[in-house]
Amino acid sequence: MRVVFLFLVTLAATYPAHAEDSPSPASKQFKVLVDQYEQEGGATVFAKRFLALAEEHPKDPAAADALLWIVENVRGRSETTKALELLTANHVDSEKLGSACGDIARSRSLAAEKLLRALLDKGPHDDVKAQACYYLALLLDSEAIVVDQLRAAPDLAPRVVQYYGKDYGKHLASLKPDELAKLREQAYETMLKSFPDVTAQDTTLGKVAERALFAIRHLSVGRVAPEIEGEDVFGKPMKLSDYRGKVVMLCFWGHW
């Protein structure tokens, strides 16, 4: 009896842990869909199935996996936008989104920008927040390029709407350079203040932010150029500011 009693106590103590470790129905369904996709292909078809899984089990961690699968494999479709919206609504606290921030930014949509901002503002994990800040800044940089192109050639607006979709295309066409520059500065200032030591390839986010802020503040169209001091071709001292108000062409060359 003592042996049986000890066995039952041990079983009762360990059973919940085993039950907790077992995969959820949503997790099993996700694995089945992944296996089917690898055999059959057709990302746009399976995007609808992964989306249905996430909507059926909105809070399950497997739902985040399903939504991230869509973001990674399908871009520029309604399923992708819906996946980004559901991630924002239900999975901002997931650590899985850190490594996915690059794919999120590459979606280039209003939903992507909102998700990155939500991760930065509300996410509980510092490493995820750092990635969200970095890729939000890159997304804003890409928007600035489009805005500059539109400013130089306004007739490109219909093509921008066609390429990026109606909502995001109109958003890009409505952006004002000065306002966008302020948003970029804010993102890089946050990066410099909050995540300076986080590594990014062969550098740190602090150094990335310093370079970007210098470019935004001094090298953008309409900003005052940084001072340059040196000697002219005749060996006389010169400063760029001496020519303020005049058209100046700078030529740089070197010998290695």
188-239 residue pLDDT tens: 999 999 999 999 889 999 999 999 999 999 887 777 778 888 888 788 898 9
Q: What pLDDT is stored for residue 73 in this prediction?
A: 95
**Do 52 and 22 touch, CB atoms closer than 8 A?**
no
Q: What is the mean pLDDT of residues 68-89?
A: 94
Q: Kindly indicate the confidence band of residue 20, based on its pLDDT and cuts at 50, 70 and 90.
A: low
Alpha-helical regions (H) of 153-204: 157-164, 166-174, 177-194
User: In angstroms, rounded to a whole number, what is the distance separating the alpha carbons of residues 187 and 209?
Assistant: 9
Q: What pLDDT is stored for residue 242 in this prediction?
A: 87
Is the confidence at residue 245, as pLDDT, over 90? no
End-to-end CA distance of the chain: 89
Segment 130-154, tens digit of pLDDT? 999 999 999 999 999 999 999 889 8
Q: What pLDDT is stored for residue 6 in this prediction?
A: 43
Helices and strands: H and E segment counts in the chain: 12, 4
Q: Kindly indicate the confidence band of residue 59, based on its pLDDT and cuts at 50, 70 and 90.
A: very high
User: In angstroms, rounded to a whole number, what is the distance separating the alpha carbons of residues 87 and 64?
Assistant: 7
User: In angstroms, rounded to a whole number, what is the distance separating the alpha carbons of residues 195 and 188?
Assistant: 10
Q: What is the pTM (predicted TM-score) of this model?
A: 0.82
Q: What is the mean pLDDT of residues 63-74?
A: 96
User: In angstroms, rounded to a whole number, what is the distance separating the alpha carbons of residues 132 and 247?
Assistant: 41
Q: What pLDDT is stored for residue 21 in this prediction?
A: 66
Query: What value does the mean pLDDT of the chain take?
Result: 89
Q: What is the mean pLDDT of residues 70-97?
A: 95
**Do 196 and 206 touch, CB atoms closer than 8 A?**
yes
Report for 5-14, 54-63, 211-220, 241-250: range of highest mean pLDDT:
54-63
Strands 229-231 and 203-204: unpaired
Chain centroid offset of residue 188 CA: 13
What are the percentages of helix, strand and coil residues in the chain, rounded to 5? 70, 5, 25
Q: Which of 17-26, 64-73, 224-233, 236-245 has the lowest mean pLDDT?
A: 17-26
